[in-house]
Amino acid sequence: MAGNSQEYISHHLTNLTYGKLPAGYVRHEVDENGIVHEHALTHDTWTMAHTKQEAADMGFWALHVDSLGWSIGLGAMIMLLFWKGAQKASTAVPTGMQNFIELIVEFIDNTVKESFHGRNPLVAPLSLTIFCWVFMMNFMDLIPVDVLPSLFALFGVHYMKVVPSTDVNITMGMSLTVFALMIFYSIKVKGISGFAGELCLQPFKVSNPVLQAVFVPINLFLESVALLAKPISLALRLFGNMYAGEMIFILIALMFSAGAFLGLLGGALQWAWAVFHILVITLQAFIFMMLTIVYLSMAHEDH
């Protein structure tokens, strides 16, 4: 049972991976009769990983097809939803969909006005996109863990992780985009010399130029660490919370195969955790958006 449980958990936490296997790599494939066959690749091959070990051996440049597919698909769905809402918008009695979209837009707009102290027309649309996109990626965690992987397995898909925010590559990619915007607007607003001075002349600043020169490398080190910590913490906070939530759902799902009593208990726990998780996924989307606004506001401060 322990072996089956470990295999079940490992399977649900493995991404559908596309990458390159080098020439000479020995692949192990199991046929429909359960017999393992081995064959060596004659040349470098880009292929889908059939095992967790193959996915790991593909290295850094491998692509997590499921995370990319679901994140892009959810983003496209959000854009379509808002586009349809904008087309049907009316000054007459609004529909339920229009009310819902206007509520979200007004909430994000007020949040940006309260937290962002510069002038930039990009920040509000960016915040709206981040909140809706991260929320939808997190929302996939509420779908029972076996439903979509089992459905894709019917078409020969070996692995399928359907919650993009449980993939650190997705969360890190989003945070690095925010980081790039921070650097861009810091240089645009303050200039290269102002941005460099912000890194080199804080937090230790003295009037003596000789002593200040001594503090420059110390300031640069401290400010660089603080600057780099922002995208890392932004990515890992979202990833860590969602990964933990997904793991709990997987552990609860194991209870359904452990007898009638544990199955009923698992059903109650799954419902309770799903209800609580609605708060978690919304809060994590809000935090990611809020930190983005704060970081960009700091980048616009010229002092």
Token pair, residue 206, equals 């003295």
pLDDT of residue 49 exceeding 50, the answer is yes
Cα→Cα distances 286→49, 107, 108, 143, 193, Å? 35, 11, 10, 21, 34
d(C-alpha 243, C-alpha 266), whole Å:
19
The string of DSSP codes covering 83-111 is HHHHHT--SSSPPHHHHHHHHHHHHHHHH
pLDDT band at residue 187 under the 50/70/90 scheme: very high
The per-residue pLDDT for 34 is: 63
The per-residue pLDDT for 70 is: 96
Q: Which of 153, 156, 180 is nearest to 234 (CA)?
A: 180
Token pair, residue 6, equals 């470990």
Q: Which of 158-162, 183-187, 212-216, 268-272 has the highest mean pLDDT?
A: 183-187
Q: Give the catalytic positions in this structure.
A: 233, 237, 241
pLDDT of residue 166 exceeding 80, the answer is yes
Element (H, E) at 36: strand 36-40
pLDDT of residue 54 exceeding 60, the answer is yes
Q: Are 233 and 272 in contact (CB under 8 A)?
A: no
d(C-alpha 240, C-alpha 92), whole Å:
45
Region 84-105 average pLDDT: 81
Task: Please give the angle made by the CA atoms of 38, 44 and 46, to the nearest 5 degrees.
Answer: 90
pLDDT of residue 5 exceeding 90, the answer is no
pLDDT band at residue 32 under the 50/70/90 scheme: low
Each residue's pLDDT tens digit, 213-270: 888 899 899 999 999 999 999 999 999 999 999 999 998 888 887 777 878 888 888 8
- 40 phi and psi angles, rounded to 5 deg: -95, 140
Q: Are 285 and 231 in contact (CB under 8 A)?
A: no
End-to-end CA distance of the chain: 62
